[in-house]
Structure 1
Amino acid sequence: MLSKSESHTSWQESMISSTWLTYILEEWTGVECHYLYYIGFILCVLNIMFVPILIFISLSCFLNLLLHIYKRKNGLDEDFSNKSWDNGRFMVASILSMCGKLFHGYELHGIEKIPEGPGLIVYYHGASPVDYCFFICTLYIQTGRLCYSVVDRFFAKLPGIQLYLNLLPGVHSGRDESVEILKKGNLLGVAPGGGREAFFSDENYNLLWGNRKGFAQVAIDAKVPIIPLFTQNIREGYRTFGKIGFFRWFYERSRVLLIPGYGGFPVKLRTYVGDPIPYDPNITATELVEKTKIAIETLRDRHQKLPGSILRALLERFDKHQKED
């Protein structure tokens, strides 16, 4: 054991080292030390606030880099329907699926409810779309079926992830292209709530669709069923500061998807596929929107305890009891 004199000497040395480090920082930055503490605190807060979008973009860029290496190594062109891209697509799906299982214990229930042939998958949009990414990757690994995804133009313009979006694949055009995709026998995923639902819904998982009914008209025009989808605890894993009035005002006037969030908590995520809503030639788009809302809210009420709790969602990682489908 150290004597009192040795302990005192050690404490003095640590204080001298700390003072020396403070002096170096002040000389290097030209800023007084107490201001550096404030700056460090602000940077930490900003880092926490933008964690969800940083995680998503960083992972997307990493996968995009792997795909560029794969493309160059195999001498591939931009024809993503080419079978030569299948291994690269499976690699991306496997990495994302592994991330989902490791970080969120991700599970997909009711995959057998997805009918053969085309269908419009409609899902609740959490603060981060990671659950939907896990869904389309798990679907591809288990069934070999690709699911096209309607993505916001904001993400389509982000540098460094174009190859990744094209391979999964993501589309950002209008109604006509969506109908054409479905008529070719594909699955197509869409979140009617979009950015507004992602940023301003909360732990009560309210659907914020406004008057949007374009997706319903797409399903009617393409004569395909709608498949409801809901992920348990997605709002507990990633949240936003959407309750602050300024951010709502900023979004409504700019439509810029830069509302700060926080999270990245390793909560349990389970995605549930609901019973398909079959095509009905006699139904209107407005009526189909209401039926879809009810279907998703039914999944929510059955599988999500409201209001959501981050602590409870974390504890569910240790709950071995599988939820009833």
Structure 2
Amino acid sequence: MEKIPDRGPALIVYYHGAIPIDYYYFLANVIIQKGRTCHSVADHFLFKIPGFKLLLEVFSVIHGPQEECVRALRNGHLLGISPGGVREALFSDETYLLFWGKRNGFAQVAIDSQVPIIPMFTQNLREGFRSLGTLRLFHWLYERFRLPVAPVYGGFPVKFRTFLGDPIPYDPNISAAELAERVQHAVQSLIDKHQQIPGSILRALLERFYTKHKD
């Protein structure tokens, strides 16, 4: 948590699990340890769930227009975003593939706001909850209708460990595409360093009782 500034803005970029429960714990830790709130970017479909919009507003969740993200950062807030979003949540698996494509809007937000980017990854996240989104039917439904209906199972009491990488400082001489690639490499480096692939639910459960670091 020492990599999160005590004051001033920063953009936190994280790997999206089937259920981003690690990010919820991260938000709680920021409040408890730093005395700060962290704004978050969520997919549009969450705002269409009846009665959910007010809850999202209470927790400072926005649906992600670049202008609104820049405004939050320029106002001195922390902001969390997952470039992989719903696609990464549904279609990634125990191999922890990143589904960022050519998304670089988050990088442009960081450039326009002149803020650092802090990469984040949680070990064993896919072993806590898994998605059936890799099945052809659910993949087709999402790509055709943007319906995130793939079943999620789990809730296994595995050992989570969240790692924050070194902040990537603002650089006026770098393009959004180059910065997005640099951030993706930073998140991938955290995965390579801290996650045994493929992930194993049994191994992640056993790590509740002993620590086995990746070779």
- Which category describes the TM-score, using the shorter chain as reference length? over 0.9
Q: Secondary structure at the match of 1:317?
A: coil
CA RMSD in angstroms comes to 1.5
**Residue pair 2:129, 2:155 contacting (<8 A) in 1 also:** yes
Give the letter aligned to residue 8 of structure 2: G
Q: Which residue of the other structure, out of 79, 90, 93, is the alignment partner of 1:188?
A: 79
Q: Secondary structure at the match of 2:122?
A: strand
Name the residue aligned to 1:132: 23
1:303 corresponds to 2:194: yes
Provide the TM-score with structure 1 as the length reference: 0.63
Partner Cα separation in structure 2 for residue 161 and residue 138 of structure 1: 23
In the TM superposition, 1:29-40 aligns within 5 A as none
Superposition deviation, residue 244 in structure 1: 1.1
Give the letter aligned to residue 112 of structure 1: E
Q: Which residue of the other structure, out of 126, 134, 141, is the alignment partner of 1:250?
A: 141
Name the residue aligned to 2:12: 121
Name the residue aligned to 1:273: 164
**Structure with greater contact order relative to length (CA < 8 Å, sep ≥ 6):** 2
Partner Cα separation in structure 1 for residue 168 and residue 28 of structure 2: 23
Compared with structure 1, are the counterparts of its residues 254 and 134 closer, same or farther at alpha carbon in structure 2 (3 Å cutoff)? same
Partner Cα separation in structure 2 for residue 237 and residue 211 of structure 1: 28
In the TM superposition, 1:302-321 aligns within 5 A as 302-319=193-210, 321=211
Partner Cα separation in structure 2 for residue 132 and residue 158 of structure 1: 21
Provide the TM-score with structure 2 as the length reference: 0.94
Deviation by residue 1:163-198 (Cα, 9 ceiling, x = unmatched):
432222211140001001000111000000011100
Partner Cα separation in structure 1 for residue 70 and residue 83 of structure 2: 16
Q: Secondary structure at the match of 2:109?
A: helix
Partner Cα separation in structure 2 for residue 213 and residue 280 of structure 1: 15
Q: Secondary structure at the match of 1:192?
A: coil
1:218 corresponds to 2:109: yes
Deviation by residue 1:275-300 (Cα, 9 ceiling, x = unmatched):
00000000001110111011111111
1:150 corresponds to 2:150: no
Partner Cα separation in structure 2 for residue 143 and residue 323 of structure 1: 28
**Residue pair 2:138, 2:149 contacting (<8 A) in 1 also:** no
Superposition deviation, residue 322 in structure 1: 9.1
Superposition deviation, residue 157 in structure 1: 2.2
Partner Cα separation in structure 1 for residue 55 and residue 209 of structure 2: 33
1:263 corresponds to 2:154: yes
Partner Cα separation in structure 1 for residue 108 and residue 212 of structure 2: 36
Give the letter aligned to residue 113 of structure 1: K
Name the residue aligned to 2:2: 112
Superposition deviation, residue 117 in structure 1: 1.1
Structure 1 unmatched ranges of 5 or more: 1-110
Partner Cα separation in structure 2 for residue 274 and residue 143 of structure 1: 18
Partner Cα separation in structure 1 for residue 49 and residue 25 of structure 2: 21
Name the residue aligned to 1:238: 129
Partner Cα separation in structure 2 for residue 114 and residue 289 of structure 1: 20
Partner Cα separation in structure 2 for residue 165 and residue 141 of structure 1: 20
Count of matched residue pairs: 213
Give the letter aligned to residue 261 of structure 1: V
Task: State which structure, 1 or 2, has the greater radius of gyration over its C-alpha atoms.
Answer: 1
1:284 corresponds to 2:175: yes
Partner Cα separation in structure 2 for residue 135 and residue 188 of structure 1: 12
Superposition deviation, residue 259 in structure 1: 1.2
Compared with structure 1, are the counterparts of its residues 156 and 272 closer, same or farther at alpha carbon in structure 2 (3 Å cutoff)? same
Name the residue aligned to 1:166: 57
How much identity, in percent, do the aligned residues show? 58
Partner Cα separation in structure 1 for residue 205 and residue 128 of structure 2: 9
Partner Cα separation in structure 1 for residue 64 and residue 135 of structure 2: 31
Name the residue aligned to 1:81: none
